[in-house]
Chain A
Amino acid sequence: MDSEEALDRLPVAVRDLTVAYRDTPVLWDVDVSMPEGKMIAIVGPNGAGKSTLIKSILNLVPLTSGNVTIYGKTYKAQRSMVGYVPQRGSVDWDFPTTTLDVVQMGMYGKLGWIRRPGKRERDVALECLEKVGMASYANRQISQLSGGQQQRVFLARALAQDAQIYFMDEPFAGVDATTERAIVDIMRELRESGKTLVVVHHNLETVPEYFDWVILLNVRVIASGPVEEVFTREAIQKAYGGRMTFLPDSVGEPSGPLRRAESLGD
Chain B
Amino acid sequence: MLDLLHDVIFDYTLRNVALGSALLGIVGGVLGSFAVLRRQGLLGDALAHTALPGICLAFMLTGLRTPLVLMAGAAITGWIGTLIIIKVVQDTRISEDSALGIVLSVFFGIGIVLLTYIQQSNNANQAGLDRYLFGQAATLVQSHVITMAVLGGAALLCVALLFKEFKLLSFDPEFAASIGFPVGKLNVLLTSLIVIAVVIGLQTVGVVLMAAMLVGPAAAARQWTNRLSVMLGLAALFGAAAGVSGAMISVTASRLPTGPMVILCMTAIVIVSLLFAPERGLVWDAVRQRSSRRRILQGGPG
Contact = CB atoms under 8 A, between A and B. Distances in A.
A141 to B, nearest CB: 4
Given A114-B161, A114-B162, A141 B179 contact: no
Nearest to B162: A114
A105 interface: yes
A105 B171 contact: yes
A77 to B, nearest CB: 11
Contacts of A96: 37, 222, 225-228, 230-231
Given A79-B179, A84-B175, A90-B172, A95 B37 contact: yes
Contacts of B301: none
B91 to A, nearest CB: 9
Contacts of B175: 84, 86, 105, 157
Nearest to B176: A108
Interface string B10-49: 0000000000000000000000000001010000000000
B172 A116 contact: no
Q: How large is the interface on A (under 10, 10 to 19, 20 to 34, 35 or more residues)?
A: 20 to 34
A109 B180 contact: yes
Q: How large is the interface on B (under 10, 10 to 19, 20 to 34, 35 or more residues)?
A: 20 to 34
A59 interface: yes
Contact of B177 (A59, A105, A116, A117): A59
A98 B226 contact: yes
B170 interface: yes
A82 to B, nearest CB: 7
A6 interface: no
Nearest to B279: A141
A108 B170 contact: no
B164 A97 contact: no
Nearest to A140: B226
Q: Please report whether the interface of chain B is mostly helix, strand, loop or mixed according to DSSP.
A: helix
A174 to B, nearest CB: 18
Contact of B172 (A22, A91, A98): A91
Interface in B200-238: 222, 225-228, 230-231
A61 B256 CA distance: 52
Contact of A141 (B93, B168, B226): B226
Interface in B146-190: 161-165, 167-168, 170-172, 174-181
Contact of B179 (A90, A97, A114, A161): A161
A6 to B, nearest CB: 26
B164 A117 contact: yes
Interface in A71-119: 76, 79, 82, 84, 86, 90-92, 95-98, 102, 105, 108-109, 111, 113-117
Contacts of B167: 97
A94 B170 CA distance: 12
A143 B171 CA distance: 13
Contacts of A98: 226-227
Given A60-B174, A86-B175, A113 B222 contact: no
A102 B231 CA distance: 17
A50 to B, nearest CB: 15
Contacts of A109: 179-181
B42 to A, nearest CB: 16
Contact of B171 (A22, A59, A97): A97
Nearest to B93: A22
A108 B164 contact: yes
Most B CB atoms within 10 A — which of A58, A96, A105, A115? A96
Given A96-B222, A113-B165, A115-B164, 19 more contacts: A55-B174, A59-B178, A60-B178, A76-B180, A79-B180, A84-B175, A84-B178, A86-B174, A86-B175, A90-B174, A96-B37, A96-B227, A96-B228, A105-B168, A105-B171, A105-B172, A109-B179, A109-B180, A161-B179
12 contacts: A79-B178, A84-B175, A90-B172, A90-B174, A95-B228, A96-B231, A97-B227, A97-B228, A98-B226, A105-B172, A115-B164, A141-B226
Cβ-closest 7 pairs across A and B: A109-B179, A141-B226, A84-B178, A58-B178, A91-B172, A95-B171, A96-B228
